[in-house]
Structure 1
Amino acid sequence: MRVLVTGAAGFIGNETARVLLERGDEVVGTDNLNDYYDPALKQARLARLDGHNRFSFEQLDLADRDGMARLFADGRFERVVHLGAQAGVRFSIENPQAYLDSNLTGFGHVLEGCRRNGVEHLVYASSSSVYGANTRTPFRVEDNVDHPVSLYAATKKANEGMAHSYSHLYGLPTTGLRFFTVYGPWGRPDMAPMIFTRKILAGEPIEVFNEGRHERDFTYVDDIVEGVVRVLDNVAATDPAWSSDEPGPATSSAPWRLYNIGNSDPVPLMQFIATIEQALGRRAVMEMKPRQPGDVLRTAADVSALEAAVGFRPHTPLAEGIGRMVHWYRDFYRV
């Protein structure tokens, strides 16, 4: 297939592009290569794809309306994996406009490009953060998500609604994937796994928010990508059992679906830190901090809908995934 992958220089987008290329697809990647974190890492990720003659890349901002329209008109994409976005819960508190531009305006441009150019299936990244103030776990795609606690989460919830409107009005098949805390090689340096690794190796103290009383459903990147690719091949369809009298929130009479992708095994933050310590062979110096605005206490994914649809559920054990991440980190940063 000919596939557009947005965010192709990003953590998940780059690995997704690599897997699609390895199986024989033609991939066009886009990314704006912004400096939210070190662009050199993004360039290094792109360099992994240099040897593939079926890959091309265009630096482009999602908020560039004319540029996005041209990309889709020229691209003749059969399917689209939309993984480009302004990421980060905490940064959304400091710089909300970046999220409005990328995650709302940019997503609108992706939807328009798909519907005007005959795209067969749009798969896009949502987030476990949409569950917001919910405390009953595991989180199910059938749960109410009307109480986001960060602007980032609100933009992801809005994406799901925007996609549904296009599926309903124009028959565009769309599938949203709610990712649960992704980690692994080539990971984002602004996320806790990389921050902890870097600081422990440097002998610097790590900040442990909410005094370590968090639990996260850490999910290895390879599992996330396998889920993305399987869902891409499983084009969203209407649900014949869906009823407007009792509307289910994860399926529809339109070709629109939502799935969780998570490891279904929430880990206490202190256990997560201990696993990194063991992989590094070093102890962390910890500074206990209060809970930050926008943080949720616990995430845990119910992936039964994903498993029923595509026959897959994430399974990589934490110690194995952290070991691979630490090995990559030491090699890439030569520490």
Structure 2
Amino acid sequence: MAGTDVVIHAASYVGAEPRLAHAINEAGTGHVVEQCREAGVARLIYVSTCSVYGSGPHRGILESEVGYHPASVASATRAVAEQLVLGYGGEVVRPNLVFGAGDRWFVPGLLRLMKVAGGWPGDGSALLSIIGVEALGRLLSGLALAPRQPGRAFHAAYPEPVPVSSLLESVARVFGVECPKFLGDDEQAGPALRAAGFSSHQVDLVTRDHWYSSGGLWRISGLEPETFSSALGEFSSAYHVSREPNRS
């Protein structure tokens, strides 16, 4: 890291194995901080998650309005990583839900949810903060090139929250499946999802309001705020599903 101006630390473990979560998120981030210190790198930016806040509902909250209440070992260890970076005088960027190339759980998880319960819990009106991975990259680059913001955290999302109903319609259209019916407070939906391996926290994330004020990062990064609607082309291409039969 010698001679480096800015380090962006975007490596995290997001699984459920406590040993790996502690080794990668806590100890690993500690190593990054120590290497920055030894090399004299003043600027360290860590990509975290809004899941450090725990379960919602969260409605338009600012970065300073909610403390740490993580609901999983991955989120708990990323909260520790945040504190290490902020203590160093670094900056933290918190996306909520990220779609795009490399996504292995958000949209694939939505598809599984749509299939398992025979419908969707709630009425589809929940508002979510989401962002495409390319827009997230632009925000990180803009922040890295902007004046240093020591000890600050930022939400990374499209400023306009996205209704679950609109998100599911986009998923259904891209994958050529039927958009699920909304089950409201159907008591059978929750047990069916838990039996399929979804945690209560995972279901909560996509059925209740989880949206966060994110205008600050767009301003500091010097970028014009984008919307989910403007990124639908990126959304579609990231999850292009071949209609050709599998010949393997």
TM-score range, shorter chain: 0.7 to 0.9
In 1: Cα distance, 2:201 partner to 2:129 partner: 17
Is 1:141 equivalent to 2:63 in the alignment?
yes
Do the aligned partners of residues 145 and 210 (structure 1) sit closer, same or farther apart at CA in structure 2, a change above 3 Å counting? farther
Structure-2-length-normalised TM-score = 0.76
In 1: Cα distance, 2:180 partner to 2:56 partner: 32
Match for residue 96 of structure 1 among 18, 29, 35: 18
Aligned to 1:79: 6
In 1: Cα distance, 2:79 partner to 2:142 partner: 22
Match for residue 278 of structure 1 among 173, 178, 194: 173
Contact 1:81 1:122 in 2 (8 A): yes
Do the aligned partners of residues 80 and 334 (structure 1) sit closer, same or farther apart at CA in structure 2, a change above 3 Å counting? farther
Do the aligned partners of residues 215 and 140 (structure 1) sit closer, same or farther apart at CA in structure 2, a change above 3 Å counting? same
Superposed, 1:297-316 pairs within 5 Å as 297-312=208-223, 313-316=225-228
Number of aligned positions between the proteins = 225
The amino acid across from 1:114 in the alignment is C
In 1: Cα distance, 2:132 partner to 2:214 partner: 15
Aligned to 1:119: 41
Aligned to 2:158: 263
Task: State the 1:334 CA deviation.
Answer: 7.8
Q: Could you list the per-position Cα deviations for residues 309-332 of structure 1 after superposition, in whole angstroms to 9, with x for gaps in the alignment?
A: 2233343426334322233x539x
Contact 2:142 2:220 in 1 (8 A): no
Superposed, 1:174-189 pairs within 5 Å as 174-184=90-100, 186-189=101-104
Structure-1-length-normalised TM-score = 0.58
In 1: Cα distance, 2:84 partner to 2:119 partner: 34
Do the aligned partners of residues 264 and 119 (structure 1) sit closer, same or farther apart at CA in structure 2, a change above 3 Å counting? same
Do the aligned partners of residues 77 and 298 (structure 1) sit closer, same or farther apart at CA in structure 2, a change above 3 Å counting? same
Aligned to 1:207: 116
Task: State the 1:284 CA deviation.
Answer: 6.0
Contact 1:263 1:301 in 2 (8 A): no
Structure 1 unpaired stretches of 5+: 1-71, 168-173, 238-254
Q: Could you list the per-position Cα deviations for residues 121-179 of structure 1 after superposition, in whole angstroms to 9, with x for gaps in the alignment?
A: 11111111122144341131121223222222222222221122222xxxxxx111001
Task: State the 1:109 CA deviation.
Answer: 0.2
Structure 2 unpaired stretches of 5+: 182-187
Match for residue 105 of structure 1 among 27, 46, 62: 27
Which fold has the larger relative contact order, with Cα–Cα distance below 8 Å and residues 6 or more apart in sequence?
A: 2
Contact 2:159 2:215 in 1 (8 A): no
Contact 2:58 2:212 in 1 (8 A): no
Aligned to 1:193: 107
In 2: Cα distance, 1:281 partner to 1:127 partner: 30
In 1: Cα distance, 2:226 partner to 2:85 partner: 25
Aligned to 1:60: none
In 1: Cα distance, 2:81 partner to 2:118 partner: 29
In 1: Cα distance, 2:246 partner to 2:11 partner: 29
Contact 1:104 1:155 in 2 (8 A): yes
